[in-house]
Structure 1
Amino acid sequence: MNRSARPDRTPRPAAPEGDFARPAGHTPGLPAAASFDELGLPAGIRELLTAQGVETPFPIQAATLPDALAGRDVLGRARTGSGKTLAFGLPLLVRTAGRRAEARKPLALVLVPTRELAQQVTDALTPYARELGLRTATVVGGMSIGRQATALREGAEVVVATPGRLLDLVERKDVRLDRVETTALDEADQMADLGFTDQVTALLDLVREGGQRMLFSATLDRNVDLLVRTYLHDPVVHAADPAAAAVTTMDHQVLQVHGADKFATATEIAARDGRTIMFLATKAAVDRFTAHLRGSGVRAAALHGDKSQPLRTRTLQRFAGGEVSVLVATNVAARGIHVDEIDLVVNVDPPADHKDYLHRGGRTARAGDSGTVVTLVTPDQRKDVLRLMAEAGLRPRVTQVRSGEAGLSRLTGAKAPSGVPVDGSAPSAERPKRGGAQFRGIGTVPGKPGRAKNASRRSAEERKLAEARKAARTRRGH
C-alpha cells in the first residue's frame, strides 16, 4: 500500500491534551455483544473459550468483537489485563481461517513493541489458531533469524512480530507481506514512544491495500495520530477506559523514605510473601539490586533488554511458576508481561511519565483482581511524582515510612529478609545483622557502584560508610 494513497484529510475533533484526535468516522459501530453466543464464532472456538473459563466477553471484547468480526477497522483502548489480545486475536484468526498461506507469504500480521509481548500474544492465540488449522510464526530479535526464516518458508498463516526483526526478514527476502489481509497493532503508542514509527509505517506500506487494520492499546495519545490518519479507513473507535484510567481495583500509595534508607526499605518489601514486580531505572541498577536481594535471601530474578531472549523467557517462566517471587525489571516489563496473581508493583525508581506509571501498575489488578502499586520517593522527588500521578488521574496516599517499622509491614507486607543467600549467591556485604538489608550504588555513575560523578574511590567509600551509619541510626529511631 502506498502510504499517501488514503490519508484522511477530513477535519477532526480537537484532542484533549495528550490524547489522540478521534477520526471523523462515517459509519456507526455495531452494538456491543452481551455474550459470545451472539457473535457467530466457530463451535470449536466457543468450546475453547469455555474450557479456559472465558464465559462472557470482557468490556473491550464486547465492544469491539462485532465490528472486528465484520471486517471493520477498529481503534480500541482498554487498560492492560482487560482482554485486548482476544479482542483483536479472535477476529484475526476467524477471518483468516480456511485459507492456506504460500511459502514466505503470511495472511495475517500482529505487530508488537517487545519480544515478551510477542511471546505472550503467540501463547494466547496458539490454541485458537490450532483449532482453526492455522499455523503461526513468532518473529523477534534476540532469537535465531535462520530458524524464523525457515518457519516462514514452510508457511505460516499468522505472524506475530516486532517491527525491526520483521523488516530484517523482508530485506532478506525471507517474507513478503502483500498477501496480508488483516493487520493488528498491539500497544502502538509504545512503538511510537520507542521510535518504531518509521519501521511500523514501512511494514504497513507493504501489506495488502484495503485490508483490515486493528489498533489496540492501553493508552491512545497523539503519537498514534499518524497511524490512525494514514492507515485506518473509516475506523470505529471503542474506549473501554478513559485516557488516563485509574484502575479501580488498584490501591496507589506513595511511600516517602529517607534517601539512605530507600534500598533497605525496598529490600524488606521484596522479602514479603507473594509475587512482586519491582521497577528500577537502569539495567545496571536492576542487576545490582537483584544480586543484593539474592544475597539477602530473596528469590529474585532480573529482566531487562541486555538479557538474551531465552534467558528472558526462562525468567518469566520461573516467575509465573513461583520459583522466583520477585521480578526486578526495567521498563521492558512494563508492558506485555502477563502473569497472574501479582498483587504488588513497586516503583523503586519513580517512572519518567504518567504513561509509564500506568503500564507498570498494570502488571497488577488484572482482569478485575485487586492489587497495590507502591512508589518510593525521597523528599526531593515527592513533588514531581505527585504531579506525574495527577496527570494519570490519581490521588495516592502519601505516607512517610522507615525500614523495620510496623507501618511499612502493614502497608506492604514487608519483613526482614532471611539473610541466607539464594542458590549460592554471595551474602550481601552490607546487610545489617537484623536483616534490614541496606544497598548502595544506584543513581551514581553507571558501571561504578557507589561512586558519584568525579568522586574519588576514597571519597566514595567515605560517603558509603556515612550513609550506612545514618541508615543504622534511622532504623534504631535515633
Structure 2
Amino acid sequence: MTDAVHMSSAAPVSPEELAPLESPSPAEETPTITFAEIGLPAPVVAALAKNGITVPSPIQAMSVPDAIAGRNVLGRAQTGSGKTLAFGLPMLARLAQHEDRPAAKRPRALVLVPTRELAIQVVDSLYPYASSVGVRVLAAVGGMPFTKQVEQLRRGVDILVATPGRLGDHLRQGTCILDQVEITALDEADQMADMGFLPEVRSILGETRPDGQRLLFSATLDREVQSLVRQFLADHVTHSTEDGKASVDTMEHYVLLVDRGQKDVVLAEIGARDGRTIMFARTKLGCEGITDRLRAVGIPAESLHGGKAQNQRTRVLERFKSGRTPVLVATDVAARGIHVDGIDLVVHVDPPADHKDYLHRAGRTARAGEKGTVVAIVLPNQRRLVRKLTGMAGVDATAVNVAPGSEELATITGAKAPSGEPVREQHFKSDRFGDRPRREGGYQGSRPRREGGGGYQGSRPRTEGGYQGNRSEGGYQGSRPRTEGGYQGSRPRTEGGYQGNRSEGGYQGERKYN
C-alpha cells in the first residue's frame, strides 16, 4: 500500500449535530497554568523552558492534564494551536516511567498523521523533549527506505509516528506489531477522513490494545470523525478552543478581483514581496506551471506536490523553512503537512475544492497567535464560487479590484515589481539543504542528533560524519579518487569502505565496519 490519497465526499455537519462534542467552556476561561504545574517530568519541563516555552497554549492547558491522568481526549483546535505538544507531552510523561527498552517491532505509543511532511514535523517537534527523557521517536512514512524503518523498528521504538499507508505495509509484513501500544494519538483526523484514510485508521486502531489510551485531535468534526470517536474513544473528555471556522482575530481575508490577462503579472508581483509566501494550485501541472512562470521573471519559487519523490519534497521544504526559497507553490494534499512558522501570506491561485480546503490552506498562516493575510486571486467567472466557499468557511472576505502595479495590491500583499532576471535551477541545487548549518556531520532531518538519542534521522543512519551533501569535507567526491578514504571505483577499501555519500567512515553496503 502506498500513501496515495483520494477525497471523500462527507457532508458538512450542522452546529446542532456537533453539539455533543463541544466543550461547554471557552478557552479564555481556562486559568493560566505553567508546564511545571501540569505534571510533566522535570527534564521535559526544563527542555521546554530552554526553548522559551513555559506557558501552555489553550488546547494544551485543557487537554494535557486529562491526558496525563490517562483519560481519552477529543481535542478540537485549529492548525497552529499547539496540538502536537498537546498529545506529545502526555506520551512522554507516560513513557518516561518505563525503565526498560521497548521490545523489538513493538512501539509503546503511536501517532497517526495524514501526510509524510506532517509525520516528519511531528518527530522534529517532539525530538528535543523526547531525548531529554531517553524516549526514541521514529517516523515511518512512504517515500523513505522501508528496510531502514524495519531495522529501526527491530531495535525498539518508543513512539512511532506514521502515515496509515506505510504503517499498513509494516503490519502486513509483520515488521511492526501494535499489541503493546499504550497510547495512540490521531492528529488532523478530519484531514485523514477527507483523504479517504479512515478504513485504514480503523483497522490500525483495532490492532492496538483495547484498554489503550486514545487522543484524537481535529480542526473540524464531521460525521466521519464522529463515527471514529464513537467506536474508539469510550468515556472521552472533549476540549474545544475553536468553532471550526477561520480565526477573525489574527487573519485578514481578501478576494482580489483580476482580469484574466493580468493574473500572471499580479501573481509575479505578489511573489516578489518580502517574506514567506505560499501559493495553492489545484493540480500538480498547475503547480509546475505557476512555478515556471514565477522563476522566469526572477522569483525563486519551488513546487510541492505528490508527483515529487519524498527526498525532493523534504529538500524543498527545508529551503522554504530556511528562507532560501521564499515562495512555495503547493497542492492541497501536499501542503497538509506544512507547519512552518512565519508564513504571513497565503494565496489561493485556484479556488479550493471545498470550504474545508479553504480553511486548511488559510491555516498555513497566522499560526500560534501570529498575524497573517489570506488572499484569493479571482477571475470574473469564479466570483460566485469563491463567495460561496468563503461564506461556508465563516470568512468575511473583503473584495478588492486590483491590477498590476496598483496601490491596493501593494497595500494588501506587499507586492512589488520582480527583477525580471530568470532564476535558474542551479540556484536551488548549489546548497541542497538550504541555509541549515552542518553540525558534526550528518543530515538529521531539521535538527542535530544528540548522543544516544536515536530518534528520527532522515532516511539514513548517521555513522561518524554522515551524509554531507555536496560538501568537500569528507562527502561525495564525484568520480575523483580521494587520498584518505574516498570513492575508489569498484575496489573495496580496507579502512573506511566506500565513501559515496558518507564522510569519515563511509558507506559499506550491507557490511558492518568495525
- TM bin, normalised by shorter chain, reads 0.7 to 0.9
The equivalent residue for 2:81 is 82
The equivalent residue for 1:252 is 253
The equivalent residue for 1:16 is 14
Q: CA RMSD in A?
A: 2.0
Question: What does 1:40-439 align with in structure 2 at a 5 Å threshold?
Answer: 40-99=39-98, 100-423=101-424
**CA-to-partner distance for each residue in 1:198-232, whole Å, 9 max, x for gaps?**
10000000000111000002222222012101000
Deviation at 1:423, TM superposition (A): 2.7
Give, as a single letter, the amino acid of the residue that structure 2 aligns with 1:221.
Answer: D
Q: Using the alignment, how far apart are the partners of 2:161 and 2:32 within structure 1?
A: 27
Deviation at 1:243, TM superposition (A): 2.1
Q: Using the alignment, how far apart are the partners of 1:307 and 1:174 within structure 2?
A: 27
CA contact (8 A) 1:299 1:326 kept: yes
TM-score normalized by the length of structure 1: 0.82
Deviation at 1:106, TM superposition (A): 0.6
Q: Using the alignment, how far apart are the partners of 1:297 and 1:245 within structure 2?
A: 33
The equivalent residue for 2:436 is none
Give, as a single letter, the amino acid of the residue that structure 1 aligns with 2:35.
Answer: F
Cα gap change, 1:408/1:245 in structure 2, threshold over 3 Å: closer, same or farther? closer
Give, as a single letter, the amino acid of the residue that structure 1 aligns with 2:114.
Answer: P
**CA-to-partner distance for each residue in 1:321-359, whole Å, 9 max, x for gaps?**
010010010013442212121111100111111111111
CA contact (8 A) 1:187 1:217 kept: yes
Unaligned runs of 5+ in 2: 1-12, 24-29, 428-514
- Counterpart secondary structure, 2:347: strand
CA contact (8 A) 2:74 2:236 kept: yes
TM-score normalized by the length of structure 2: 0.77
CA contact (8 A) 2:78 2:244 kept: no
**CA-to-partner distance for each residue in 1:10-33, whole Å, 9 max, x for gaps?**
xxxxx63596463599xxxxx766
Give, as a single letter, the amino acid of the residue that structure 1 aligns with 2:270.
Answer: I
Q: Using the alignment, how far apart are the partners of 1:318 and 1:19 within structure 2?
A: 43
Cα gap change, 1:316/1:42 in structure 2, threshold over 3 Å: closer, same or farther? same
CA contact (8 A) 1:110 1:183 kept: yes
Give, as a single letter, the amino acid of the residue that structure 1 aligns with 2:366.
Answer: A
Q: Using the alignment, how far apart are the partners of 1:78 and 1:382 within structure 2?
A: 30
Cα gap change, 1:238/1:44 in structure 2, threshold over 3 Å: closer, same or farther? same
Deviation at 1:390, TM superposition (A): 1.1
CA contact (8 A) 1:294 1:425 kept: no
Unaligned runs of 5+ in 1: 1-14, 26-30, 427-478
Give, as a single letter, the amino acid of the residue that structure 1 aligns with 2:123.
Answer: T
Cα gap change, 1:21/1:146 in structure 2, threshold over 3 Å: closer, same or farther? farther
**CA-to-partner distance for each residue in 1:385-417, whole Å, 9 max, x for gaps?**
111111111111000111222221122111121
CA contact (8 A) 1:277 1:342 kept: yes
**CA-to-partner distance for each residue in 1:234-291, whole Å, 9 max, x for gaps?**
1111111112242411110000111221122111111111110000110011011111
Cα gap change, 1:267/1:190 in structure 2, threshold over 3 Å: closer, same or farther? same
- Counterpart secondary structure, 2:380: coil
CA contact (8 A) 1:246 1:392 kept: no
Q: Using the alignment, how far apart are the partners of 2:322 and 2:185 within structure 1?
A: 30
Give, as a single letter, the amino acid of the residue that structure 2 aligns with 1:16.
Answer: S
The equivalent residue for 1:430 is none
Q: Using the alignment, how far apart are the partners of 2:266 and 2:17 within structure 1?
A: 36
Q: Using the alignment, how far apart are the partners of 1:205 and 1:20 within structure 2?
A: 25
Pairs aligned (count)? 409
Q: Using the alignment, how far apart are the partners of 2:117 and 2:340 within structure 1?
A: 12
Q: Using the alignment, how far apart are the partners of 2:231 and 2:155 within structure 1?
A: 33
Cα gap change, 1:350/1:101 in structure 2, threshold over 3 Å: closer, same or farther? same
**CA-to-partner distance for each residue in 1:153-205, whole Å, 9 max, x for gaps?**
11101100000100101111101001001000000111111110110000000
- Counterpart secondary structure, 1:327: strand
Deviation at 1:79, TM superposition (A): 1.1
Give, as a single letter, the amino acid of the residue that structure 1 aligns with 2:47.
Answer: L
Q: Using the alignment, how far apart are the partners of 2:343 and 2:72 within structure 1?
A: 34
- Counterpart secondary structure, 1:376: strand
Give, as a single letter, the amino acid of the residue that structure 2 aligns with 1:96.
Answer: L
Q: Using the alignment, how far apart are the partners of 2:61 and 2:266 within structure 1?
A: 43
CA contact (8 A) 1:270 1:326 kept: yes
Q: Using the alignment, how far apart are the partners of 1:403 and 1:350 within structure 2?
A: 20
CA contact (8 A) 1:246 1:393 kept: no
Cα gap change, 1:330/1:424 in structure 2, threshold over 3 Å: closer, same or farther? closer
Give, as a single letter, the amino acid of the residue that structure 1 aligns with 2:358.
Answer: Y
CA contact (8 A) 1:295 1:420 kept: yes
Question: What does 1:453-468 align with in structure 2 at a 5 Å threshold?
Answer: none
Deviation at 1:78, TM superposition (A): 0.9
**CA-to-partner distance for each residue in 1:16-72, whole Å, 9 max, x for gaps?**
3596463599xxxxx766221221211111111111111211000011111111011
Cα gap change, 1:94/1:32 in structure 2, threshold over 3 Å: closer, same or farther? farther
CA contact (8 A) 2:39 2:68 kept: no
- Counterpart secondary structure, 1:381: helix
- Counterpart secondary structure, 1:22: helix
Give, as a single letter, the amino acid of the residue that structure 1 aligns with 2:39.
Answer: G
CA contact (8 A) 1:303 1:329 kept: yes
The equivalent residue for 1:462 is none
Q: Using the alignment, how far apart are the partners of 1:226 and 1:345 within structure 2?
A: 32
Give, as a single letter, the amino acid of the residue that structure 1 aligns with 2:404.
Answer: S
Question: What does 1:441-452 align with in structure 2 at a 5 Å threshold?
Answer: none
- Counterpart secondary structure, 1:336: coil
State percent identity of aligned pairs. 54
Q: Using the alignment, how far apart are the partners of 1:180 and 1:94 within structure 2?
A: 15
